[in-house]
Chains A and B, each alone.
Chain A
């Protein structure tokens, strides 16, 4: 399998376009009539590709290290969830002492909040233009980094349906469902955000345990709503259980 490369300089010159015109023609002609030369050139190009792949893999291994770091962070989250669960369980136990009614109430509320969360579409935020500074850029940068408080402050300074829509999303993310409902309700039917807002409004109501209101909104979504199918699936779940 030992390979010899007798024309490295020539191949490099050809591939870097530094051969003169007549030499290019001679090179290409030789590729067509000299099989050995042509094979050697193919192997050289494969070797070059292998070198490129080596350095791509080197960088990929750095990304894999980051994956491990991030996954460790995720693994550590359940620990805090266990602590949370402990306190939630204690709270539920305490509520049992107060009465079965309250226990059931909180149980069902948590169930609907979780269901709403499952159907909540990820809002990626507006693209931040590179060419010109837009009025939402700072707010969107904060939003994309999940700096909710900063994004909220910046959006509160803007009076528009876009700002109201994103405020609704931010309040939902912060589990301020009442505020989220108020924001989504301000979006008028003429707004480009209306259909998205209506669907999210239903999910915010659901999180507040206002199941009938949520159902009513979900049923009223127009056929053109991008969330029509999700709404139908959610309605099925709500009616079946």
Chain B
């Protein structure tokens, strides 16, 4: 098995993002040229698709779905990127949300908006995470982005055991909700 790829897996599983940055830097320009030529994508679409491809590559490694490659990393990334770009082009071609929304009338519309308002926006969630203590931010990142289990979080954070990590993570989630509710109040007044 290729040592270079195994090293990438190892580094990513250790929470090191540098291999992703290096892969992005190495192949980004070529992907843009290729996808603009092959799929008539514009530069913004190509950039976005390649970023998403790298993120999926990361996701597949941390979730344990990708353990070995039969092609090069570049070929793998270009394959994911290709599907991303085709979806993006299709999606952008059928964006008519605003028009459709205007077609929803009366109570149906109110229910729709009520459902939308119930959920926190991505912006609120990001602001709230940034307000959390550093250890909470790290735990959430290890759990949700790096997909560490509680044993690994305990090791990484130097906690006594997995139960401590689990309890700590719940506390952090509660703190996050408190921050989110504070943000909601600020918006209301």
Which residues of A does B touch, CB under 8 Å?
1-5, 8-9, 12, 16, 39, 43, 46-48, 50-57, 59-60, 62-63, 66-67, 70, 122, 124, 127-131, 144-145
Contacts and interface: CB of A to CB of B under 8 A. Distances in A.
Given A1-B118, A54-B125, A130-B69, A70 B174 contact: no
Contact of B55 (A9, A47, A60, A122): A60
Contacts of A122: 30, 33-34, 37
Contacts of B72: 127-130, 144
Interface residues of B, number: 54
Contact of B71 (A5, A127, A145): A127
B51 to A, nearest CB: 5
B180 to A, nearest CB: 7
Interface of B: 1-2, 5, 17, 20-21, 24-26, 28-30, 33-34, 37, 47, 51, 54-55, 58, 68-72, 74-75, 78, 117-120, 122, 125-126, 129, 140-141, 144-145, 150, 166, 169-170, 173-174, 176-177, 180-181, 184-185, 187-188
A66 B144 contact: no
A59 B117 contact: no
A8 B173 contact: yes
B129 A54 contact: yes
A184 to B, nearest CB: 22
A46 B187 CA distance: 20
A53 B2 CA distance: 31
Contacts, number: 122
Nearest to B56: A56
A83 to B, nearest CB: 22
Contacts of B68: 130-131
A50 B184 contact: no
A43 B119 contact: yes
A60 B170 CA distance: 27
Contacts of A53: 122, 125
B25 A70 contact: yes
A66 B25 contact: yes
B28 A46 contact: no
Contacts of A39: 118
Nearest to B127: A54
Contact of A55 (B28, B118, B145, B177): B145
A56 B126 CA distance: 11
Contacts of A2: 181, 184-185
Chain A interface helix/strand/loop/mixed:
helix
A43 B21 CA distance: 33
B187 to A, nearest CB: 8
Contacts of B33: 122
17 contacts: A1-B188, A3-B184, A12-B173, A43-B118, A54-B129, A55-B141, A59-B58, A62-B21, A66-B28, A67-B28, A70-B25, A122-B34, A124-B34, A127-B75, A128-B71, A129-B72, A130-B5
B25 to A, nearest CB: 6
A165 B180 CA distance: 60
B181 A50 contact: no
Contacts of A60: 51, 55
A9 to B, nearest CB: 5
A66 B126 CA distance: 22
B25 A1 contact: no
Given A3-B181, A46-B120, A54-B126, A66 B1 contact: no
A66 B1 CA distance: 30
A3 B2 contact: no
A51 B55 contact: no
A63 B126 contact: no
Nearest to B149: A16
Given A54-B129, A129-B72, A131-B1, 4 more contacts: A1-B187, A12-B173, A51-B125, A63-B47
